[in-house]
């Protein structure tokens, strides 16, 4: 019994070997765990955070290798889900976590980052704001507070700073069936509907138009070009809602009445996947959409009707204005490789690189980019036409997502009913006014 | 004979219905993983009309799914092993030692609060803690978090298993010269092995599938886990359904294989002590 006890408690070769092995495994594991901590600084390293979007594919595939070859930049491109990036990046910036050097923001997010003062002043860092080659409406979106238009409380007299620079252009254009509408896009909404009906009668398409009807951001993205082309807008220069004026109500009635009647049966529940499938599958005659989906028109893997889809400026009622929604780059104050990030942005926004971006197939953010002999896709010249015809960003307020939600809910209700768009705008305007009053917009 | 035949038919119909409800989403995911996005969104076919393996290839060539898989396996295995070691020691102490006012019971219960509280409530404190420790986007950050969660679960599960083991066996071993720890290691732990296996299985499944903390604590392929990495396929306008389906299949495979391998222990562990 005693011998057994001694054997158990004393040292043995087996125990020493086991202990040594455990120590080795443990230390190896700890070393590898600690090694996974991200590098805080490195030569030409630039960590770019982006949300997943087809519009960034040319940058990812063509420009990142070019950045290495031409500028020596070692770009780490980190894609994430669209729905979580705003919260994650904002937390990263506010807490100085230093996980990114550049955020590729959706432009409506700029006011939130601007108001929190967590982004570098890129103008002070040397990015040239006086360069006339910038596309002005895109470049203006990088300033906080805005250089023109209404400003939110607390920033009325602040000097505008360039906290972001346009990165990849993106805007809504019309995609239409050339076997239904001919070689020229429909110039007006009435023409779009009338010729679309002829296409339905001829059996070429199932319905003239398709759009997103889901409440919130999707329905507003589809309605905005109609509101703008009917001569409406969201706010006056004192943040009073004006989307329920005569033009706004006419646009809403047209949207929930005429457009619904000439669209797919379940359009109230349609989001981008369903509207994309409707146009690329050959069911719809026309759609207004952003470039990420539009460029799929020529992809045989995505479209059943390659060759039958063309691009054009959006139809007009009063004007031919669409919505702009660009990718815009900001550098967090806590960026681990800040100097590299700024040098990268200088290189990337140069005329020469923008030309290469256009050749790769993305909409450039400088006019010289549009002048390339062979743009990467045939949407790019149409995007310039749309920019010249008119293209407006979403209102520049950190509260836009809430406003969008309030209008979207009422518009979706009217769309379900198939009528009452104007009345829905009155309700939404009241709700928006109440919300902004509580937020101190009118004090 | 007729009533039996009818009963059997009804049973079979209910069985098929339940099986259909359970398996249809899985079938749909597997089938979609071999279709193109166009076929998924435009045709909604029941089975792939044009088979493609591109979705799987894309996950490894264009995305970082090899990293996500490794990260998931490391975070899961290390955190579960650590939690089992610490948890079984804690559970043994609670089961065997008695404190004044039965405090050991209250300690056991207080550990459970971490499981009762909705994870989102402690998400921000954990994020800030990891931020101050500079452990955001690291394996270590994930492992510490998952271990903390798993320990509570392990203690709670293992305590009941240890209570089922007669204390006389350990006392006999100690009379023969074993220390308390040796008696635990040589007597109690082997007897509680089915319970340990059942606890490990639950902990592995919960940890491998965890999303919320991985979402907050990771940002790059260096530390992103499978569920977290799969979410990166959801875009602003379009979602890569085909790749997401392939990622779902790949993400489910390790857990399915693991569950098949250990299902015998799972049943034994769950029924341990049920019949005396």
User: Average pLDDT, stretch A91-111?
Assistant: 93
Residue B272, pLDDT score: 60
Q: Residue B22 class from Cβ within 10 Å (0-12 exposed, 13-18 middle, 19+ buried)?
A: exposed
Q: Which residues, in sequence order, are CB contacts of B5 under 8 Å at separation 6+?
A: none
pLDDT at A7 over 60: no
Distance from CA of A409 to the nearest CA of B (A): 20
Q: Distances in Å between the alpha carbon of A109 and those of A112, B104, B241?
A: 6, 51, 26
Measured CA to CA, the distance from residue B248 to residue B225 in angstroms comes to: 12
Pairing of strands A309-312, A45-51: unpaired
Nearest to A100 by CA among A327, A326, A331: A331
Planar angle of CA A407, A412, A418, nearest 5 degrees: 130
Measured CA to CA, the distance from residue A170 to residue A168 in angstroms comes to: 6
Confidence class for position A148, pLDDT limits 50, 70, 90: confident
B149's tokens = 């969660």
Number of helices and strands (H, E) in chain B? 14, 0
CB A384 within 8 A of CB A173: no
User: Average pLDDT, stretch A127-141?
Assistant: 90
Q: How many CB atoms lie within 10 A of CB A16?
A: 10
Does residue B98 lie within any of the structural domains? yes
pLDDT at A22 over 70: no
Does residue B34 lie within any of the structural domains? no
Nearest to B215 by CA among B236, B237, B230: B230
Confidence class for position A55, pLDDT limits 50, 70, 90: confident
CB A229 within 8 A of CB A248: no
Q: Taking a contact as any Cβ pair under 8 Å apart, which residues of chain B between 188 and 227 contact chain A?
A: 215-216, 219-223
**Element (H or E) spanning A432, and its range?**
helix A421-438
Range of the domain at B163: 62-271
Indicate the average pLDDT of chain A: 89
Confidence class for position A19, pLDDT limits 50, 70, 90: low
Q: ipTM score here?
A: 0.74
CB B203 within 8 A of CB B75: no
Q: Taking a contact as any Cβ pair under 8 Å apart, which residues of chain B between 109 and 168 contact chain A?
A: 127-128, 131, 134-140, 143
Using CB atoms, pick whichever of A4, A33, A49 lies closest to residue B138.
Answer: A33
Q: Which residues, in sequence order, are CB contacts of A37 under 8 Å at separation 6+?
A: B134, B135, B137, B138, B140
| B167-177 CB burial, b ≥16 within 10 A, e <16 | eeebeebeeee
Q: Distances in Å between the alpha carbon of A346 and those of A128, A134, A341, A352?
A: 9, 13, 9, 11
User: Average pLDDT, stretch A75-83?
Assistant: 91
CB A85 within 8 A of CB A109: no
Interchain pair A83, B178: CB under 8 A: no
- Tally C-beta pairs within 8 A across A and B: 115
pLDDT at A36 over 50: no
Does residue B45 lie within any of the structural domains? no
Q: How many domains are there within chain B?
A: 1
Q: Taking a contact as any Cβ pair under 8 Å apart, which residues of chain A between 66 and 105 contact chain B?
A: 76, 78-84, 88, 91-92, 95, 97, 99-100
Residue A337, pLDDT score: 95
Measured CA to CA, the distance from residue A36 to residue A26 in angstroms comes to: 16
Does residue B27 lie within any of the structural domains? no
Residues of A in contact with B37 (CB under 8 A): 301-302
- State which residue of chain A sits closest to B52, comparing Cα positions: A301
Q: What is the pLDDT of residues A387-402, one digit of tens each?
A: 999 999 999 999 999 9
End-to-end CA distance of chain A: 89
A25 preceded by cis ω (within 30°)?
no
Residue B111: which CATH number?
1.10.3720.10
Residue A15, pLDDT score: 55
Does residue B15 lie within any of the structural domains? no
Q: What is the DSSP string of B36-52?
A: -HHIIIII--SS-SS--
Q: What is the DSSP string of A50-98?
A: EE--GGGHHIIIIIHHHIIIII--EEEEEEE-HHHHHHHHHHHHHTT--
- CA quadruple B178, B182, B183, B184: dihedral, nearest 10: 160
pLDDT at A223 over 80: yes
Residue A324, pLDDT score: 94
Residues of B in contact with A273 (CB under 8 A): 41, 238-239, 241
Measured CA to CA, the distance from residue A343 to residue A44 in angstroms comes to: 9
A11's tokens = 């040292």
A419's tokens = 């009528």
Measured CA to CA, the distance from residue A309 to residue A286 in angstroms comes to: 9
More confident residue, A152 or A310: A310
Residues of A in contact with B223 (CB under 8 A): 36
Does residue B50 lie within any of the structural domains? no
| A143-170 CB burial, b ≥16 within 10 A, e <16 | bbbbeeebbbeeeeeeebbbbbbbbbbb
At which residue do the structure tokens 């009622």 appear?
A317
Does residue B94 lie within any of the structural domains? yes
Residue A10, pLDDT score: 46
Measured CA to CA, the distance from residue A279 to residue A298 in angstroms comes to: 12
Distance from CA of A300 to the nearest CA of B (A): 10
Does residue B227 lie within any of the structural domains? yes
Q: How many CB atoms lie within 10 A of CB B148?
A: 16
pLDDT tens string, chain B, 276 residues long: the values are: 566 888 999 999 999 999 999 999 999 999 999 999 889 988 889 999 999 999 999 999 988 899 999 999 999 999 999 999 999 999 999 998 888 888 887 887 888 787 788 888 999 899 999 999 999 999 999 999 999 999 998 998 899 889 888 999 999 999 988 899 999 999 999 999 888 988 998 899 999 999 999 999 998 899 999 999 998 888 887 788 999 999 999 999 988 888 888 877 777 666 665 444
Confidence class for position A41, pLDDT limits 50, 70, 90: very low
Q: Which residues, in sequence order, are CB contacts of A353 under 8 Å at separation 6+?
A: A63, A66, A70, A347
- State which residue of chain B sits closest to A81, comparing Cα positions: B232
Using CB atoms, pick whichever of A38, A97, A304 lies closest to residue B131.
Answer: A97
Does A280 contact chain B (CB < 8 Å)?
A: yes
Residue A255, pLDDT score: 97
Pairing of strands A161-162, A284-289: unpaired
Torsion angles phi and psi, residue B234, rounded to 5: -90, 115
pLDDT at A3 over 70: no
Which domains are assigned to chain A? Answer: 45-170+325-392 (3.40.190.10), 173-324+397-438 (3.40.190.10)
Q: Name the pTM for this structure.
A: 0.81
Residue B269, pLDDT score: 64
């Amino acid at each position: 019994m005693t011998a057994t006890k001694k054997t158990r408690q004393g040292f043995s070769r087996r125990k020493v070997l086991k202990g040594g092995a455990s120590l080795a495994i443990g230390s190896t594991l700890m070393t590898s765990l600690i090694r996974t901590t991200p590098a805080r600084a490195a030569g030409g390293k630039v960590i770019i955070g982006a949300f997943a979007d087809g519009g960034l594919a040319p940058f990812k595939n063509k420009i990142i290798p070019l950045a290495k070859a031409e500028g020596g930049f070692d770009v780490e491109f980190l894609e994430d889900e669209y729905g979580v990036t705003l919260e994650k990046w904002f937390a990263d910036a506010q807490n100085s976590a230093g996980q990114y050097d550049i955020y590729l923001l959706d432009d409506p997010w700029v006011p939130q980052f601007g108001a929190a003062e967590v982004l570098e002043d890129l103008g002070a860092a040397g990015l040239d704001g006086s360069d006339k080659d910038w596309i002005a409406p895109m470049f203006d979106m990088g300033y906080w507070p805005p250089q023109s238009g209404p400003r939110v409380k607390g920033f009325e007299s602040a000097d505008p700073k360039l906290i972001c620079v346009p990165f990849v252009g993106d805007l809504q254009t019309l995609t239409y069936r050339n076997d239904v509408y001919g070689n020229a896009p429909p110039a007006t909404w009435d023409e779009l509907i009338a010729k679309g009906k002829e296409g339905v009668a001829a059996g070429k398409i199932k319905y003239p138009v398709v759009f997103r009807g889901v409440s919130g951001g999707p329905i507003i993205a589809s309605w905005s070009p109609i509101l703008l082309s009917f001569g409406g807008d969201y706010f006056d220069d004192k943040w009073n809602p004006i989307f329920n004026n005569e033009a706004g109500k006419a646009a809403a009635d047209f949207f929930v009445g005429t457009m619904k009647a000439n669209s797919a049966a379940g359009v109230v529940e349609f989001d981008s996947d369903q509207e994309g499938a409707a146009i690329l599958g050959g069911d719809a005659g026309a759609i207004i959409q952003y470039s990420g989906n539009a460029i799929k028109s020529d992809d045989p893997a995505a479209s059943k009707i390659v060759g039958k889809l063309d691009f054009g400026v959006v139809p007009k009622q009063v004007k031919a204005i669409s919505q702009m929604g660009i990718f815009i780059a900001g550098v967090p104050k806590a960026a681990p490789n800040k100097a590299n990030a700024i040098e990268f942005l200088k290189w990337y926004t140069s005329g020469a690189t923008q030309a290469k971006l256009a050749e790769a197939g993305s909409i450039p953010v400088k006019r010289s980019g549009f002048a390339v002999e062979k743009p990467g896709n045939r949407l790019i010249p149409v995007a310039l036409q749309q920019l010249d015809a008119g293209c407006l960003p979403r209102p520049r307020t950190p509260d836009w997502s809430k406003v969008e939600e309030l209008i979207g809910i009422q518009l979706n209700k009217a769309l379900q009913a198939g009528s009452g768009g104007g009345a829905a705008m009155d309700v939404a305007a009241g709700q928006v006014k109440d919300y902004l009053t509580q937020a101190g917009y009118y004090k | 004979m007729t009533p039996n035949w009818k009963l059997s038919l009804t049973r079979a119909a209910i069985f098929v219905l339940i099986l259909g409800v359970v398996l249809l989403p899985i079938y749909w995911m597997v089938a979609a993983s071999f279709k193109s996005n166009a076929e998924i969104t435009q045709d909604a076919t029941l089975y792939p009309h044009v088979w493609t393996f591109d979705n799987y290839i894309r996950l490894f060539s264009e995305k970082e799914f090899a990293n996500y898989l490794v990260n998931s396996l490391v975070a899961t295995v290390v955190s579960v092993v650590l939690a089992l070691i610490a948890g079984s020691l804690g559970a043994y102490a609670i089961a065997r030692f008695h404190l004044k006012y039965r405090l050991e019971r209250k300690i056991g219960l207080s550990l459970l609060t971490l499981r009762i509280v909705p994870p989102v409530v402690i998400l921000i404190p954990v994020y800030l803690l990891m931020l101050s420790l500079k452990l955001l986007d690291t394996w270590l950050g994930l492992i510490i978090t998952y271990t903390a969660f798993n320990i509570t679960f392990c203690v709670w599960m293992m305590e009941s298993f240890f209570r089922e083991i007669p204390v006389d066996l350990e006392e006999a071993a100690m009379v023969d010269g074993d220390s308390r720890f040796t008696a635990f290691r040589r007597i109690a732990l082997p007897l509680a092995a089915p319970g340990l296996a059942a606890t490990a299985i639950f902990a592995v499944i919960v940890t491998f599938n965890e999303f919320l903390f991985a979402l907050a604590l990771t940002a790059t392929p260096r530390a992103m886990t499978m569920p977290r990495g799969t979410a990166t396929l959801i875009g602003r306008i379009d979602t890569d359904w085909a790749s997401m389906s392939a990622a779902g299949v790949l993400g489910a495979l390790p857990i399915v294989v693991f569950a098949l391998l250990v299902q015998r222990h799972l049943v034994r562990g769950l029924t341990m002590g049920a019949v005396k």
